[in-house]
Amino acid sequence: MTEQELIQHRVERWRLRPDLAPNNEKEIREFIKTAGLCYTYHISKDSLPSLIQTVSGAIHSPTRYKITLDDPFYAMINETFRSYFKQKLFVEVVIFGKHPVIVYRDVLVRLYRLTGAEIQRGTVSKRKRNTKIENEIISFLNDKGPATRRDIRLAILDKRKNTAGVLTKTLDSLGRQLKIIRSRQENSELLWITPEKWDPRLCDDAIKIERDEAIEYIILRFLQISIASSRKALKRFFKNVIPTDLLDHSLNSLIQRGLIVIDPDLIIDGKRALKAR
């Protein structure tokens, strides 16, 4: 595969033409299900599609394209967020970095399996001990359910100084550990919720999955939607989720079993590209 062929494959797989763009909510939902992982907004020069870019049907779009009332796909996007999140089939996460990523439920379950150092007594054991404020936010969200940033600030941080900075830092920390996720349930307003509150079955499903199977599944899902990638790009994207040694081990195993192949004609990050068979 040449670089030009990769671009063309992505145009078709990511539906980056007006004639390929989703025309209704059902097609948007099908795209998210097929992708498994996609950015919410367009992130240039990355190997994952974005929902806004696909729905707008354009290869090039602003890095932080925001939905406005003037956009013809405004109603479709908002209805997708309103109805589909409620069905517990996808959410936004920030575990991969500063840009929100929409993940389908099959991917989320495996991400949730990997956020624990080990699984004990049917629960996912978290890697990091929470701070006092983090525990307060988690308890508040588990009691109240989905809450806006303002709800959290007023309930927990309102009487403290520099609450905006503290809240941003705390939400970012919890999000990177997958202790909270982003939902849009009312008028597409951004809400935070804990994975356990979002779907109590999530942990039950996660503990049934072996760690290595979870890693391999997520890697394959990434390569299937990206068409082709590199070890460097995979390590960069999954740095908060999969330790480097485990990612290398899983990639080598997948290559040996023929589930991932090395493309001699496509160079990414200075190395021959990897792609799912």
pLDDT digits 0-9 by tens, 164-175: 788 888 999 999
Instruction: Identify the residue with better confidence: 205 or 122.
Output: 205
Q: What percent of the chain has pLDDT over 90?
A: 41
**Residue 45 confidence (pLDDT) above 80:** no
In whole angstroms, give the CA distance from residue 250 to residue 163.
42
pLDDT category of residue 37 using cuts at 50, 70 and 90: very high
Tell me the range of 22-26, 40-44, 85-89, 177-181 where mean pLDDT is highest: 177-181
pLDDT (0 to 100) of residue 189: 72
pLDDT category of residue 158 using cuts at 50, 70 and 90: low
User: What DSSP string runs through 93-156?
Assistant: E-TTSSS-EEEEHHHHHHHHHHTEEEEETTEEEESSPPPHHHHHHHHHHHHH-SB-HHHHIIII
Q: Which domains does the chain have, with CATH numbers?
A: 3-87 (no CATH), 114-206 (1.10.10.10), 211-276 (1.10.10.10)
**Residue 120 confidence (pLDDT) above 80:** no
Q: Are 43 and 63 in contact (CB under 8 A)?
A: yes
Mean pLDDT of 53-65: 65
| 56 residue type, one letter | S
pLDDT category of residue 200 using cuts at 50, 70 and 90: confident
Mean pLDDT of 136-157: 89
pLDDT (0 to 100) of residue 34: 94
pLDDT category of residue 159 using cuts at 50, 70 and 90: low
**Residue 63 confidence (pLDDT) above 50:** no
pLDDT (0 to 100) of residue 259: 95
pLDDT category of residue 64 using cuts at 50, 70 and 90: very low
Mean pLDDT of 25-42: 89
In which residue are the tokens 């908060």 written?
Answer: 240
- Count of other CB atoms within 10 angstroms of residue 241: 20
pLDDT (0 to 100) of residue 79: 73
pLDDT category of residue 127 using cuts at 50, 70 and 90: low
Mean pLDDT of 190-213: 90
CA geometry: angle 67, 186, 96, nearest 5 deg: 65
pLDDT (0 to 100) of residue 62: 46
What does the mean pLDDT of the chain come to?
85
Mean pLDDT of 146-173: 82
**Residue 230 confidence (pLDDT) above 70:** yes
Instruction: Identify the residue with better confidence: 216 or 29.
Output: 216
pLDDT (0 to 100) of residue 53: 83
In whole angstroms, give the CA distance from residue 106 to residue 58.
28
**Residue 38 confidence (pLDDT) above 70:** yes
